[in-house]
Chain A
Amino acid sequence: MNLAWTQDPNLLAAALSAFTPFASFALIMLFTRSHARLSAGISIAAVGISLASAVFLLVRNWSLPAPIQITGRWLISGDIHIPIGFLLDPLSLLMLTIVATISCLVQVYSLAYMAGDPGFSRYYAFQSLFAWAMLTLSISPTMIQLYIFWELVGLASYLLIGFWYEKFSASEAGKKAFVMTRLGDIAFFLGLLLVLLHFGNLNILDMNGPQATERLSPVLLTVSALLIFGGVMGKSAQFPLLTWLPDAMEGPTPVSALLHSATMVAAGVYMFARIFPFFSHSGNAMTVCLSIGTITMLLSSTMAMVTRDIKQVWAYSTISQLGFMVMGLAAGGYAAGVFHLTTHAGFKALLFLCSGVFIHHYETNDMFVIGRHGGRGLLIPMICMTLASAALSGLPPLSGFFSKEAIMGVLAGQRNPIWLAAGLMGAFLTAYYSFRLIFIILRPNLSEKVRAETHGGHGKGHHAAGLYWVMAWPLIILAAVTLVLGFFQGPLEVFLSGSQTVSESHGTGHHAWLPIAAVGLALAGTGLAWLEFGRNGAAQVGFVERLPALRALFANRWYLDHLYRRLLDYVIYGTISNLFTRNDRRVIDGAIDGMCRATIGSGRLLSFVQSGMLQYNLMVMFAALALVALGFYFLG
């Protein structure tokens, strides 16, 4: 076996980073299913090694002159070459580090959150599966490899969402997630095929290079870009394929934190950024992506305003922020979009993990109940959640402020002011719904008798102190990141600019009023939330909730789910499936059975010839003889 590859530190680190979780998955599934602690240990060790390798790669290759690509032979058929390998460039290394970090933190957090669950080992096996898939996706050199691991990530998501499979709603949600993302994936796959057939290969560096415009016509570029964007729509829950993400909250909260906020759903955005130069060739496609991102952002913000479930708020928020990232990228802001992806991963994971502490402690998802039971007494989660909400709303000096400003700047550079207006509106709504939740928990309406029942709101008595701190430390780390990451915007942009060749629009410089406007709107949203929920004697009813029709619209996710249910029941099951099944039974089988009956029937008919009457036989004999004689006579 040729071990020369172990000599290359980059390759070794990349291989370690990507494949140790796979080894962990295999080990746990095959051998250590019955040893819960051992499984967890293996998994965390594996992802720890991945993290170390990722950081090593990031640091070592900080100022890379050109991307490093290492590939080996996976499949060659005819003229189709599918290699397996790694692509190390700033974007992929950044994503690798993000994924590894958050996976590590979430797996540590899960030690406490999932403690005592009968499926503990299985959980960690699936976490390792996810880590393997997502890490390899980040450093894929070709779109085919990306697609393969994209599907595997979807599989891990299915398994983890439906983790508590005894609950019908959980398995239903997992199935819904898989099928919906698969719809997007089909468009993605068709787009890839178009590119493969006309461009020749699916290597990312090649696709981002100048030959793309040479070999593909503008129409083809637009169509394939739009089809590939279908994958983004599915995986990153853009309109209209967004309803699977709120349902995915059926999974354990660490899963929601890892997959459905920071990493898996970000894979779509990551893919967009990955082939950003390819997408930028087609202005029409970018405009379509921009509009879809905008619609998504606004729509899901409205849905977040009326829900009672703490995780649903953050789920809708994730969809909204992903839309915002898509807006940034589609408007041409490569560095802005990627930066927001990075910061969002940090504070959104933090938000979910904090919610997880509340859910674990009070055993309910309802924010009103948590508030009434004295949720604000859990200090660390409360502080971290407030911090993260502020970051989400874009308040300085947190990381969210910097990244949102970057995107706003890009939007301002667009000719049509509608995008910027939408972005600012989104900022207002984001602040509103985030602080609505904060204030509901912070200042609960204690006018009911529940006040008397609140037991010691500090909650530490509920679990062993050790477990609590296992959950708290990841929170603290992520909060620190949220505080500090914003100031790294400059170095990160420099880092990222080495990885793409298309000039992207900056635009922050000459819009000095923009940050003020954005922050102002955010503060306005916060203020409105305080007015309605936070101050003493507040009614705790939002302005939307006062309009029942509007409230119903938002609460029912703009009736998208109803539409899908109708589509599924009437068109798919009712019409097509029914039609084909009946065709099978009545037409095809009917024809076959009919033929058999005809055969038997004709036999019965002909059996009349056998009448048993001797004289009929004799008659036939004589007739035949006469004919033969005549024949001889005439033909002689």
Chain B
Amino acid sequence: MSMEFATFPYLTAILLSCIAGLLVILFIPDERQMLIKQVSLVSSGIAMVLSVYLFFAYDKGKGGLQFVEKVLWVDSLGIYYFNAVDGFSLPMLALTGIVLFTGVLTMWELTHRVKEFFAFTFLLVAGVFGVFMAMDLFFLFVWYDVSLFPMYPLIAIWGSTRKEYGAMKLTLYLLAGSALILPGILYLFVKSGLNTFDVTALMQPGVFTPFQQKFAFLLFYLGFGILAGVWPFHTWSPVGHVAAPTAVSMIHAGVLMKLGAFGVLRVGIFLCPEGWQYWSQLMALLATCGIVYGAFVGLAQTDLKYVIGYSSVSHMGIVGLGLATVTVDGLNGAVFQMFAHGVMTALLFSSVGYIYERTHTKMIPELGGLSKVMPMASSYFIIAALAGIGVPCLASFWAELLVFIASFRVYPVRGALAICALVVSALFMLRVVQRTFYGQKNERLAHLKDVSFGLGIPRMILVGVIVLFGLFPALMVDLVQTASLPLIQGLPR
């Protein structure tokens, strides 16, 4: 794999902007809330600008790993501080930056324990960034756990419906996942005989026997898959979404679940390709189950956030299906879907968050007729819902198209089933839109104000991103293909 070292440590700069933001916030006294928020805005802005810059500055002609930073950390264990980006991680980095920035803006009106909230958020996002850029298994796992545990206080303190239960369930479930990942990593470390955690060294052909790869891949698939919302280990996700405060939901559904899928990609697929091929049938089956299941269960929900939660399960199933096809198109579609769904879900939660803050309810029967009261807020949600259904010229259409083409080619029946689930998702999303926004003007809520221009900025950014990649999908696919094509071509037949 070609490596191009960085002239300026952009990746560490991204990490540092989050950690520096965290440290500065810790020193600000609790009462100066506006200052805390401004500091958060600045550091998240820096992170977003850097990550988006890297997205466009990547040299697609050369491909391979770029912006590499590699420093020996612990010699006796072969641990390196190794950060790099390739076609797979760059969309994720950009996604995290965008969702972080818009998330911070969305929580602008928070007043309860502001300092701790933003501190935990930055810790969480630092962990997420770290996972996406780490090319050393040790650091990947450390950052992974760093991103896990702030979820507990974030949900348990600032959350809403059943927050303690949701927080506990989420954290325990995800830790159980990491309890599967760590043995896998150690297993690989021991069996490779190379005494290194470096991914580029471990992914060389011939390092692991087929049996080792199959065993390890299963561990990684289950462990990371729990975080990715693989059916049937998905039930922590809707409960967690509902319980979490808005920005945490945005980051959780938008970025954290992608962390799981990315883990399967970076650790499982890169290091154990034969295991990947061996287990791909099972992956496809579980993914299809997730797609269909999530759509049908979403039909029966009455809480807005539950609806979005189950639709997330369904969409992550599409990611899983793309990964299971073992083809270039499938991988492209899966990564594109990770990005597109992340942005779309962030927009959905952002809109719901605004509505919840104003109306203090998420239950659909109590809402209704909101479009007359707050037209702009409604439009944001409706655009996001349309993106979720897969309307063309919005980003997720292309992602789903690629995945469906790839999956139909490799798994005709499962692919056809997944395509049929499109109708169900259209049905429940449109039903939700109709019940919540359309209808007679809601007199009880008529006094509420619509989203102001300032508060609308994060949502406008998200809409812009969705439309941009909807109209120009090549921006994303060309980038991802630089990584997926060599990967598939290098697979043992």
Judged by CB atoms under 8 Å, the answer to whether A and B touch is: yes
Interface of B: prevailing SS: helix
Indicate if the CB atoms of A74 and B297 lie closer than 8 Å. no
Indicate if the CB atoms of A179 and B300 lie closer than 8 Å. no
* A77-B430 in contact given A572-B299, A592-B169 (Cβ < 8 Å): no
Indicate if the CB atoms of B392 and A577 lie closer than 8 Å. no
How far, in whole Å, are A174 and B439 apart by their CA atoms in the complex?
13
Q: Is B89 an interface residue (CB 8 A)?
A: no
Among residues of B, the one whose C-beta sits closest to the C-beta of A593 is B169
Least Cβ distance of B57 to chain A in Å? 21
Indicate if the CB atoms of B481 and A77 lie closer than 8 Å. yes
Q: Which of B292-332 contact A (CB under 8 A)?
A: 293, 296-297, 299-301, 327-329, 332
Indicate if the CB atoms of A165 and B402 lie closer than 8 Å. no
Indicate if the CB atoms of A148 and B393 lie closer than 8 Å. yes
Indicate if the CB atoms of A162 and B481 lie closer than 8 Å. no
How far, in whole Å, are A175 and B386 apart by their CA atoms in the complex?
12
- Residues of A in contact with B, size category: 35 or more
Indicate if the CB atoms of B430 and A179 lie closer than 8 Å. yes
Least Cβ distance of B251 to chain A in Å? 24
Partner of B329, one of A78, A166, A190: A78
Q: Is B2 an interface residue (CB 8 A)?
A: no
Q: Mark A188-223, 1 if CB is under 8 A from B, else 0.
A: 011001001100000000000000000000000000
Q: Is A500 an interface residue (CB 8 A)?
A: no
Indicate if the CB atoms of B232 and A588 lie closer than 8 Å. yes
Least Cβ distance of A78 to chain B in Å? 4
Indicate if the CB atoms of A584 and B419 lie closer than 8 Å. no
Indicate if the CB atoms of A189 and B419 lie closer than 8 Å. yes
Indicate if the CB atoms of A581 and B300 lie closer than 8 Å. yes
Among residues of B, the one whose C-beta sits closest to the C-beta of A155 is B391
How far, in whole Å, are A584 and B409 apart by their CA atoms in the complex?
31
Q: Which of A483-507 contact B (CB under 8 A)?
A: none
How far, in whole Å, are A179 and B389 apart by their CA atoms in the complex?
11
Q: Is A149 an interface residue (CB 8 A)?
A: yes
Indicate if the CB atoms of B232 and A165 lie closer than 8 Å. no
Q: Is A1 an interface residue (CB 8 A)?
A: no
Least Cβ distance of B473 to chain A in Å? 5
Partner of A175, one of B300, B392, B415, B431: B431
Among residues of A, the one whose C-beta sits closest to the C-beta of B234 is A588
Indicate if the CB atoms of A148 and B431 lie closer than 8 Å. no
Most buried by B among A168, A580, A592: A580
Partner of B422, one of A77, A158, A171, A186: A186
Partner of A77, one of B332, B386, B409, B439: B332
Q: Which residues of B contact A76 (CB under 8 A)?
A: 474, 477-478, 481
Indicate if the CB atoms of B474 and A74 lie closer than 8 Å. yes
Q: Which residues of A contact B402 (CB under 8 A)?
A: 77, 80
Q: Is B62 an interface residue (CB 8 A)?
A: no
Least Cβ distance of A85 to chain B in Å? 14
Q: Which residues of B contact A544 (CB under 8 A)?
A: none
Least Cβ distance of B335 to chain A in Å? 11
* A182-B423 in contact given A75-B474, A152-B391, A577-B299 (Cβ < 8 Å): yes
* A77-B329 in contact given A162-B438, A166-B438, A193-B404 (Cβ < 8 Å): yes
How far, in whole Å, are A79 and B477 apart by their CA atoms in the complex?
13
Task: State the interface size on chain B (CB cutoff 8 A).
Answer: 53
Q: Is A288 an interface residue (CB 8 A)?
A: no
Q: Which of A141-174 contact B (CB under 8 A)?
A: 148-149, 151-152, 155, 158, 162, 165-166, 168, 171-172, 174
Indicate if the CB atoms of A592 and B393 lie closer than 8 Å. no
Indicate if the CB atoms of A183 and B423 lie closer than 8 Å. yes
Among residues of B, the one whose C-beta sits closest to the C-beta of A149 is B392
Among residues of B, the one whose C-beta sits closest to the C-beta of A152 is B392
Among residues of B, the one whose C-beta sits closest to the C-beta of A166 is B440
Q: Which of A71-122 contact B (CB under 8 A)?
A: 73-80
Q: Mark B454-489, 1 if CB is under 8 A from A, else 0.
A: 000000000000000000011001100100010000
Q: Is A576 an interface residue (CB 8 A)?
A: yes
Least Cβ distance of B489 to chain A in Å? 11
Least Cβ distance of B315 to chain A in Å? 17
Q: Which residues of A contact B404 (CB under 8 A)?
A: 189, 193
Among residues of B, the one whose C-beta sits closest to the C-beta of A132 is B393
Least Cβ distance of B414 to chain A in Å? 13
Least Cβ distance of B209 to chain A in Å? 30
Partner of B439, one of A78, A79, A168, A573: A168
Most buried by A among B232, B300, B398, B420: B300
How far, in whole Å, are A167 and B369 apart by their CA atoms in the complex?
10
Q: Which residues of A contact B440 (CB under 8 A)?
A: 166, 168
Q: Is B157 an interface residue (CB 8 A)?
A: no
Indicate if the CB atoms of B296 and A580 lie closer than 8 Å. yes
Least Cβ distance of B176 to chain A in Å? 10
Q: Is B405 an interface residue (CB 8 A)?
A: yes
Among residues of B, the one whose C-beta sits closest to the C-beta of A151 is B392
Least Cβ distance of B181 to chain A in Å? 19
Tally inter-chain residue pairs, CB-CB below 8 A.
121
Partner of B408, one of A155, A172, A193: A193
Q: Is B371 an interface residue (CB 8 A)?
A: yes
Q: Is B361 an interface residue (CB 8 A)?
A: no
Indicate if the CB atoms of B332 and A179 lie closer than 8 Å. no
Partner of A197, one of B409, B430, B478: B409
Q: Which residues of A contact B485 (CB under 8 A)?
A: 78
Q: Is B50 an interface residue (CB 8 A)?
A: no
How far, in whole Å, are A68 and B424 apart by their CA atoms in the complex?
40
Q: Is B434 an interface residue (CB 8 A)?
A: yes
How far, in whole Å, are A458 and B293 apart by their CA atoms in the complex?
60
How far, in whole Å, are A573 and B327 apart by their CA atoms in the complex?
36
Partner of A584, one of B297, B431, B473: B297
Among residues of A, the one whose C-beta sits closest to the C-beta of B238 is A584
How far, in whole Å, are A589 and B234 apart by their CA atoms in the complex?
10
Q: Is A178 an interface residue (CB 8 A)?
A: yes
* A179-B427 in contact given A78-B328, A148-B393 (Cβ < 8 Å): yes
Indicate if the CB atoms of B416 and A190 lie closer than 8 Å. yes
Among residues of B, the one whose C-beta sits closest to the C-beta of A176 is B430
Q: Is A617 an interface residue (CB 8 A)?
A: no
Q: Is A578 an interface residue (CB 8 A)?
A: yes
Most buried by B among A78, A576, A584, A596: A78
* A78-B426 in contact given A73-B474, A162-B438, A171-B434 (Cβ < 8 Å): no
Q: Which residues of A contact B422 (CB under 8 A)?
A: 182, 186
Q: Mark A324-348, 1 if CB is under 8 A from B, else 0.
A: 0000000000000000000000000
How far, in whole Å, are A580 and B232 apart by their CA atoms in the complex?
12
How far, in whole Å, are A586 and B420 apart by their CA atoms in the complex?
26
Q: Mark B217-260, 1 if CB is under 8 A from A, else 0.
A: 00000000000000010010000000000000000000000000
How far, in whole Å, are A443 and B329 apart by their CA atoms in the complex?
65
Indicate if the CB atoms of A78 and B419 lie closer than 8 Å. no
Q: Which residues of B contact A166 (CB under 8 A)?
A: 369, 372, 438-441
Interface residues of B (CB under 8 A from A): 169, 172-173, 232, 235, 293, 296-297, 299-301, 327-329, 332-333, 369, 371-372, 386, 391-393, 397-398, 402, 404-405, 408-409, 415-416, 419-420, 422-424, 426-427, 430-431, 434, 437-441, 473-474, 477-478, 481, 485
**Given A78-B332, A193-B408, 11 more contacts at CB 8 Å?**
A76-B478, A80-B405, A151-B392, A151-B397, A152-B392, A168-B438, A171-B434, A175-B431, A182-B426, A197-B405, A578-B300
A-B contact pairs, 17 of them (CB 8 A): A76-B481, A77-B332, A78-B329, A80-B405, A148-B392, A148-B393, A148-B397, A149-B392, A151-B397, A158-B430, A179-B427, A182-B422, A189-B404, A190-B419, A193-B408, A197-B405, A577-B296
Among all A-B residue pairs, the 5 with the closest Cβ atoms: A78-B328, A171-B438, A165-B438, A148-B392, A577-B299
